[in-house]
Amino acid sequence: MSDAVSALDGRAAEPRPGLRLAECGLRGQITLRAGDLASSALVGAVEAITGVAVPEALSAGFAGDDRGAVWMAPDELLLFVPHAEVAGAVEMLEGALAGTHHMALDVSHARAVLRLEGADAAETLAKGAPLDFSEAGFPVGRARRTHLGGLAVGIWRRGPEEWELVCFRSFAHHLFAWLETSGVEGAEVGRFGV
Amino acid sequence: MLLITCPNCGADCAETELAPGGEAHLERFGPGSTDEDFAGYLFTRKNPKGVHFERWRHAFGCGKWFHAARCTVTLEVFGTYPAQVTEPPAEIVERIRARRPNWEG
Ligand SMILES: [Zn+2]
């Protein structure tokens, strides 16, 4: 069997001191679509797999680095599990949701996850997306799908200075380069009380 | 720049997150209809100066369709409502009448 490699193989950069950008490497990713995200079968399976409850609209929950769930749409979640567990997790979802209208798909290799950390992370993102990235407008735990640097992305705030983004795999290089350029030394804005 | 709240996910969206879907509440004329009705369904639009009901899709967000009522002159958004209706809900109509007393509906 061939060795799986993530889009940017864990590439990391520090565009300016204190602003850290990295591709998260291999992470198990499952797109789960279902008519009812509140059904007890789905709620139980998601919690068993990810360790978190089904997130509310426009939010995300995590139980460790690569285990969690992000709300993507009224009928869609993105689930994260360690890469080695993804096949078993899909199998478990299929079992739990058998006979109900649903889709559980391993998209681990179709997407890339990037992480941006630092006090300047919010303003670095704000240059490219039509969202309010302040603490009030985008609190920890919030998740949004939007466009950034011309790409469709999902963004969620894992901590006050800790963000993750997901994009299609083939756009990973562009997103990485865009964030690196937006955060480069000399490009400070000081928008969010930095 | 329009700011519109998507009724499907609750997100406040900039216009750039959305894809416009044209005039709302069109009556569809398909096979078997007269040429006039079919041409009207395909091509004839109200294009009003003022209150307009539209279809939008939260393309870069939750991906779902919805309806919006807005003013084409001031860009004021009166409200948004689900895609699964064939006419604007009473509360939206009320809100428009409060803001545009001379609106002919
Ligand atoms: Zn939406």
Sorted by where each starts, the structural domains of chain A and their CATH numbers stand as 20-25+110-182 (3.30.1360.120), 28-106 (3.30.70.1520)
* B16·A152 Cβ contact <8 A: no
Centre of ligand 1 from the C-alpha of residue B21, in Å: 15
Any idea which residue has 């899709």 for tokens? B57
Average pLDDT over residues A57-64: 97
| pLDDT recorded at residue A191 | 78
Cβ contacts of B31 within 8 Å, gap of 6 or more: none
Q: Are B14 and B57 in contact (CB under 8 A)?
A: no
CB atoms within 10 A of CB B74: 10
* B62·A144 Cβ contact <8 A: no
Centre of ligand 1 from the C-alpha of residue A160, in Å: 25
Burial A17-44 (b: 16+ CB within 10 A, else e): eebbbbbbbbbbbbbbebeebebebbee
Give yes or no for B60 touching A (CB within 8 A).
yes
Closest A-chain CA to B11 = A58
Q: What is the mean pLDDT of each run of 10 residues along chain B (105 residues)?
A: 94 96 96 96 95 98 98 96 97 97 88
Structural domains in chain B plus CATH codes: 3-99 (3.30.2270.10)
Average pLDDT over residues A113-139: 96
In the predicted structure, residue A102 carries a pLDDT above the cut 50: yes
Coil, helix or strand at residue A167 = strand
Residue A193 banded pLDDT, cuts 50, 70, 90? low
Average pLDDT over residues A46-66: 97
| pLDDT recorded at residue A1 | 67
* Model confidence pLDDT, tens digit, residues A4-40: 999 999 999 999 999 999 999 999 999 999 999 999 9
Residue A41 banded pLDDT, cuts 50, 70, 90? very high
Q: Measure the CA–CA gap between A20 and A120, rounded to whole angstroms.
A: 10
CB-closest option in B10, B16, B61 to A145: B61
Residue A190 banded pLDDT, cuts 50, 70, 90? confident
Burial of B75 (0-12, 13-18, 19+ CB in 10 A): exposed
| CA nearest neighbour of A185 among A118, A134, A91 | A118
| pLDDT recorded at residue B8 | 97
| pLDDT recorded at residue B104 | 84
Give yes or no for B72 touching A (CB within 8 A).
no
Q: For Cα atoms B59, A149, A77, give the angle at the middle one, nearest 5 degrees.
A: 45
Any idea which residue has 């009928």 for tokens? A75
* B11·A58 Cβ contact <8 A: yes
The pLDDT > 90 percentage for chain A reads 96
Closest A-chain CA to B1 = A130
| pLDDT recorded at residue B60 | 98
Q: Measure the CA–CA gap between A51 and A62, rounded to whole angstroms.
A: 8
Q: Measure the CA–CA gap between B36 and B31, rounded to whole angstroms.
A: 12
| pLDDT recorded at residue A79 | 98
Closest B-chain CA to A58 = B9
Average pLDDT over residues A155-181: 98
Looking at this protein, which amino acid is placed at residue A47?
A: E
Coil, helix or strand at residue B18 = coil
Centre of ligand 1 from the C-alpha of residue B7, in Å: 7
Give A131's Cβ-side CA count (13 Å radius).
31
Q: Which helix (H) or strand (E) holds B39?
A: helix B35-43
Average pLDDT over residues A171-178: 98
| pLDDT recorded at residue A192 | 78
| pLDDT recorded at residue A194 | 44
Q: What is the maximal distance between C-alpha atoms in chain A?
A: 56
